[in-house]
Structure 1
Amino acid sequence: MKNNVFYYSTSSNAFQMEGARNLHGRTDSIWDWYTKTYFKIPPNNSTEREINSIEVASDFYHKYKSDVKIMKDLGLNAFVYNMDWTRIFPKDENYVNPMGLQFYDNLFNELSKNKIKPIPILFHWDTPMWLEIKGGWTSKEILPAFRNYCSTVFKYLGKYTDVWFVNDENKSFTLDGYLGNIFPPCKNSPSDFVKAIHNLNMSAAIAKEEFLKAKNEGYVSEDSILGIDDDWSPPIVWNNGNDEKQNEDLINNYNAWMRDFWIDPNIKGEYPKVFWDYLKENKLDANILEEELSYLQKFKLDFIGWNFYRPYFITNKNNNVDIKLLHKEPVSYSFGDFVVVLPKEHKNYTKWLWPIYPEYLEVGLKAYKDKYNLPIMIIENGFGDFDDKSNELILDIDRINYLQPILESVNKCRKLDLNLFGYSMWTFCDIFSPSAGYRKDYGLVSVDFNSQIKERKPKLSYCYYKNVIMSNGEDTNFDKERLVKELSNLLINWDILWK
């Protein structure tokens, strides 16, 4: 990647957006199984978790051409997309589904024709069910299958882009799906957790080896880069006393577990000490072979993606915190010296109790620069809400209020030489959320999920982000009345072919 272009993008994910789950040779992933098995619809306006069908979702599979038109009008010069392994390899590690591959070729070609760079992510939580039956990420059988997937994708799609990611949010995937049971595959097993994370790390090194082969064979350009995407939340020490050394130790322990552990193996080629101590203390066998540690060291990734939504307030595990000071019980893990808390004294939260604290975007980027000094792209940042879609104009002003200081900080950080080369907003249009189904709106574009055609409609935030992009990030301020006029005019000319 040689150019100095800054990427203004949106991000999305196949199982949350694509639909067409049983069409053209595709079979189930673990998220198909999970949403069918644990289907649940809470009352309206409740923040209780909804687990809904992903059979159609936002129907991006059929609507990608009109969606790309909308992306072009928005002014995007990139689109981050988490691909669907199962659509390309629906039954075993050797059979390539031509129609699955054709869909991504069509999508990437359509994006490229409209001067929007595809930025693919190879894996985001949706293990093929045929592989899960063999043990999924707890079994080394998954690694040759992932190698074939990588080599196939690089061979047939490598010509479209020079920016790639292997994995997205290994932390959420394994903490909630392997150490816990609220995401598939619902293992709730420390033993499965450590095996899964090591195999995920190995998969990234395998991807890098295949990436280098693809460069030698001319499938991927020589200057292409391959990264890993993580969702570290910078820490804020809360109610932990005034001992500076104690607080520094707490932050270091938190960062070792909640940042370093998830990216060091693929960025530095090694596990942090806390992981080896955890294995020893808990008598766990992660099935790590000596030659695999050398392999991680040999095939390190090139850059970092960061999903920034919020910081975490933390305090020491041994503190007796008055629950009356918190919105809910502290969250603790089987590792680390910290717990995550939601103090009432912080007044700015989303409806899902995610702290709003835009200052920590700069704090986080500086921390990444200090530790890794690699190129970095913000891959996810956005605002989940109950958007009012009852009127002609969707005036999601709370989303704009959230985004404005974030985008102001992005522009500042570009000038501070923090290695930042792109910002991608979560997400393009309303989609299925793993934590809240279809009731948690994230999109700049509304999707009418009650419509047979999943009709699209821009929100006020669409006009806001469009203006920011037009100014190359320099003008992040907004005037509500002016934006409302722009949205009204946009809807007058909203071509039926875009809906």
Structure 2
Amino acid sequence: MSQIEGAVREGGRTPSIWDTFSHTPGRTAGGDHGDIAVDHYHRYREDVALMADLGLNAYRFSVSWSRVQPTGRGPAVQVGLDFYRRLVDDLLEHNIQPAVTLYHWDLPQELEDAGGWPERETALRFAEYAQLVGDALGDRVEHWITLNEPWCSAFLGYGSGVHAPGRTDPAASLRAAHHLNLGHGLAVSALRSVMPTRNQIAVSLNSSVVRPLSQDPADLAAVRRIDDLANGVFHGPMLHGAYPASLLADTASVTDWSFVQDGDLAAAKAPLNALGLNYYTPALVSAAPGKVAGPRAD
């Protein structure tokens, strides 16, 4: 939500990984950051009025974790929750259905300092945060999304380093992917424990259709490997309760997957009401170096 909210130091909010990342020289184009953005925090009433004028009947927004739970632990800051309460009430008054996304990449910096998504503790903290928000808004918000594009969080944030927090550690990216899966499942269960049964819970994945550059056997094998990393790493646990065996085999030289504990995959497969697909372009891949195009991220 800090993508549009601004007000990054108001109401007890603390820095997220994107605040830190965007204020690091050379990380963003022109040194741009989200300190003000479109100032939705102060202008939400004007924004909702514009939505109503446009005839919109739904608005999907993301909650800023560090606005609600600045350290990523402990009780919620009520002034932070109050902003989202006011936003939801204003939307409903204009007959616009709110849809809440709990995580759109802005991990509280304090949790990143403790290891971030590669650490199991972050998944547990995410479930706690989900319960706080669900308890505050679940009586009026029927549509919920746990994670937005966890592929980006894991592989762009901890693998290539082009997204916050900017780390380049392949093993950490796989650990992050697992703990995002776990955190998602635990959050689904936490939400259901505090919300009406009518509420709908989903996750948004930037899934990709993976196609070979040619019918060469090497390119076909590359398609399978990329499909595992682009899709199977999240589809498998969330929808089927297991990672693709080929993914585990292909990444054995990077990690031994010992961080997957008993019960994790069952937790990750918490029942969903819907699956959000953020689809941009196909991924055209080849075994030849320098000819791989992965999923887009927005």
TM-score, normalised to structure 2, is 0.91
* Shift, 1:16, TM fit: 1.2
Distance 2:68 2:261 in 1: 30
- 2:143 matched residue in structure 1: 163
One-letter amino acid of the structure 2 residue matched with residue 287 of structure 1 = F
Q: 1:154 aligns with which of 121, 134, 140?
A: 134
Distance 1:79 1:19 in 2: 18
Residue correspondence of structure 1 range 96-115 to structure 2 within 5 A: 96-115=76-95
Cα deviation code 1:430-488 (max 9, x no counterpart): xxxx98xxxxxxxxxxxxxxxxxxxxxxxxxxxxxxxxxxxxxxxxxxxxxxxxxxxxx
2:187 is the counterpart of 1:221 = no
Cα 1:306–1:51 change in 2 (3 A) is farther
- 1:256 matched residue in structure 2: 228
Distance 1:77 1:98 in 2: 28
Residues 183 and 268 in structure 2, CA contact (< 8 A), matched pair in contact too: no
Distance 2:66 2:218 in 1: 47
2:297 is the counterpart of 1:317 = no
* Shift, 1:191, TM fit: 1.8
* Shift, 1:167, TM fit: 0.5
2:63 is the counterpart of 1:83 = yes
Q: 2:247 aligns with which of 269, 275, 291?
A: 275
Query: What's the secondary structure of 1:209's corresponding residue?
Result: helix
* Shift, 1:117, TM fit: 0.9
2:205 is the counterpart of 1:230 = yes
One-letter amino acid of the structure 2 residue matched with residue 200 of structure 1 = L
Cα deviation code 1:58-80 (max 9, x no counterpart): 10000100110111111111111
One-letter amino acid of the structure 2 residue matched with residue 184 of structure 1 = A
Cα 1:291–1:158 change in 2 (3 A) is same
Query: What's the secondary structure of 1:137's corresponding residue?
Result: coil
Cα 1:285–1:50 change in 2 (3 A) is farther
* Shift, 1:212, TM fit: 2.2
Structure 2: gaps of 5 or more residues:
none
- 2:9 matched residue in structure 1: 22
Query: Taking every aligned residue pair, what percent have the same amino acid on both sides?
Result: 26
Cα deviation code 1:22-74 (max 9, x no counterpart): 01111100111111113567xxxxxxx44412110110000100110111111
Q: 1:266 aligns with which of 232, 238, 244?
A: 238
* Shift, 1:176, TM fit: 1.3
Residues 126 and 183 in structure 2, CA contact (< 8 A), matched pair in contact too: yes
Q: 1:308 aligns with which of 258, 261, 279?
A: 279
Structure 1: gaps of 5 or more residues:
1-13, 42-48, 215-219, 321-328, 331-338, 342-353, 355-433, 436-499
Cα 1:155–1:275 change in 2 (3 A) is same
Residue correspondence of structure 1 range 377-396 to structure 2 within 5 A: none
Cα 1:286–1:194 change in 2 (3 A) is farther
How many residues align? The count is 297
Cα deviation code 1:286-311 (max 9, x no counterpart): 511123233334x2333211112222
Cα deviation code 1:389-437 (max 9, x no counterpart): xxxxxxxxxxxxxxxxxxxxxxxxxxxxxxxxxxxxxxxxxxxxx98xx
* Shift, 1:92, TM fit: 4.7
- 1:66 matched residue in structure 2: 46
2:12 is the counterpart of 1:31 = no
Cα 1:253–1:135 change in 2 (3 A) is closer
Distance 2:118 2:91 in 1: 36
Cα 1:190–1:284 change in 2 (3 A) is farther
* Shift, 1:171, TM fit: 1.1
Query: What's the secondary structure of 1:132's corresponding residue?
Result: helix
Cα deviation code 1:183-236 (max 9, x no counterpart): 12122112211111111111111111112212xxxxx23122211111123234
Distance 1:233 1:33 in 2: 29
Cα 1:69–1:266 change in 2 (3 A) is same
Structure 1 stretches (4+) deviating beyond 4 angstroms? 245-253
Query: What's the secondary structure of 2:120's corresponding residue?
Result: coil
One-letter amino acid of the structure 2 residue matched with residue 119 of structure 1 = A
Q: 1:124 aligns with which of 104, 116, 122?
A: 104
Cα 1:92–1:165 change in 2 (3 A) is closer
- 2:35 matched residue in structure 1: 55
Larger radius of gyration: 1
Query: What's the secondary structure of 1:81's corresponding residue?
Result: strand
- What is the Cα-based RMSD across aligned positions, in Å? 2.3
2:293 is the counterpart of 1:340 = yes
* Shift, 1:87, TM fit: 0.2
Residue correspondence of structure 1 range 352-367 to structure 2 within 5 A: none
Residues 25 and 90 in structure 1, CA contact (< 8 A), matched pair in contact too: yes
Q: Which moved more, 1:160-169 or 1:272-281?
A: 272-281
Distance 2:119 2:185 in 1: 16
One-letter amino acid of the structure 1 residue matched with residue 7 of structure 2 = A
Query: What's the secondary structure of 1:110's corresponding residue?
Result: helix
Cα deviation code 1:84-126 (max 9, x no counterpart): 0000001351131111000000111111111111111111111
